[in-house]
């Protein structure tokens, strides 16, 4: 069993589990995938459920001492788990997935003392994975060959690029972008926006509107390993755990470089 302190190894295991769940999602794409609408109006598909069941099984076997908070397991949302615990999103970007898009992913994160200390993102459509514990890594193939570290790109002094959701709260996020030092806005669904930040393709991901902790914890873990992170509009790192309001997040700004925070605080 892996020790909690061995963050890089835990993150690598999470990435492998996420890639296995990605295979499940890809297989559902080969046939009919039934779906329904949840009470909050968001979709859930048979692929979400199958991916989640695989992840719960793998995590339960590898880390039986840790609680698991998973998007589609509503029962897990009603309790405040002891730490460390996992946050699981078995299919982030279900609308894009059901619509035939490629910008969907699998997300896993380990939280300790309110901080995401290990996280993994897997993009089934491309086979790419990103993960981080103490360091950050990525790989371009499903078989985890040629693993490479992710290095923080030099800070962009001018012409910062923002990336926002193409589906959710786009106008509100655009309004926030106009208050920040942003010269270009790009759009993408799902937590793959965090991968774009990690690799230097974008600098800022501002989000106005409802998100859940399992949507962002994995990406936050990767950004923190690179010297950035997800910050509330008050300038503080987001903290993770059960709140009176549930598992939703406040509005936030995700940055690949924390030094940009002073210049990216909204007026």
Structure confidence at residue 26 (pLDDT): 95
Structure confidence at residue 219 (pLDDT): 98
Structure confidence at residue 1 (pLDDT): 44
For 254, residues 6+ apart whose C-beta sits below 8 A from its C-beta are 193, 194, 197, 204, 205, 206, 207, 216, 219, 220, 223, 228, 229, 230, 231
Whether 68 contacts 85, CB under 8 Å: yes
Structure confidence at residue 265 (pLDDT): 59
Where in the chain are the domains?
7-149, 161-264
Structure confidence at residue 80 (pLDDT): 82
What fold, for 7-149?
Fructose-1,6-Bisphosphatase; Chain A, domain 1 (3.30.540)
pTM: 0.94
Architecture in CATH of 161-264: 3-Layer(aba) Sandwich (3.40)
pLDDT tens digits for 182-208?
889 998 889 999 999 999 999 999 998
pLDDT tens digits for 33-57?
999 999 888 899 999 999 999 999 9
Structure confidence at residue 119 (pLDDT): 98
The long-range contacts involving 194-197, CB below 8 angstroms and separated by at least 24 positions, are 194/121, 194/130, 194/218, 194/219, 194/220, 194/222, 194/223, 194/254, 195/121, 195/123, 195/128, 195/130, 195/138, 195/219, 195/222, 196/163, 197/163, 197/223, 197/228, 197/254, 197/255, 197/256
| List of the chain residues with pLDDT < 50 | 1, 267
């Amino acid at each position: 069993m892996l020790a909690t302190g061995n963050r890089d190894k835990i993150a690598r295991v999470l990435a492998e589990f996420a890639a296995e769940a990605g295979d499940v999602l890809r297989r559902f794409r080969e046939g009919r995938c039934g779906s329904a609408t949840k009470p909050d109006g968001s979709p859930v598909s048979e692929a979400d459920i199958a991916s989640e069941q695989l992840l719960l099984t793998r995590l339960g076997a590898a880390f039986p001492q840790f609680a698991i908070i998973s998007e589609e397991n509503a029962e897990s949302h009603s309790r405040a788990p002891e730490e460390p615990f996992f946050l699981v999103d078995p299919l982030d970007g279900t609308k894009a997935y059901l619509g035939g898009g490629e910008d969907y992913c699998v997300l896993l994160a380990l939280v300790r003392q309110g901080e995401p200390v290990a996280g993994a993102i897997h993009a089934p459509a491309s086979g790419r994975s990103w993960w981080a514990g103490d360091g950050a890594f990525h790989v371009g193939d499903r078989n985890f060959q040629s693993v490479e570290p992710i290095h923080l790109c030099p800070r962009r002094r001018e012409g910062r690029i923002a990336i926002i959701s193409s589906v959710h709260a786009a106008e509100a996020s655009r309004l926030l972008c106009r208050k920040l030092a942003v010269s270009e806005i790009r759009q993408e669904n799902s937590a793959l926006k965090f991968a774009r930040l990690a690799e230097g393709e974008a600098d800022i991901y501002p989000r106005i509107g409802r998100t859940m902790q399992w949507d962002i914890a994995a990406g936050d873990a990767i950004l923190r390993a690179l010297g950035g992170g997800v910050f509330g509009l008050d300038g503080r790192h987001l903290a993770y755990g059960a709140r009176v309001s549930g598992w939703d997040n406040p509005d936030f700004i995700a940055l690949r470089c924390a030094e940009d925070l002073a210049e990216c605080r909204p007026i």
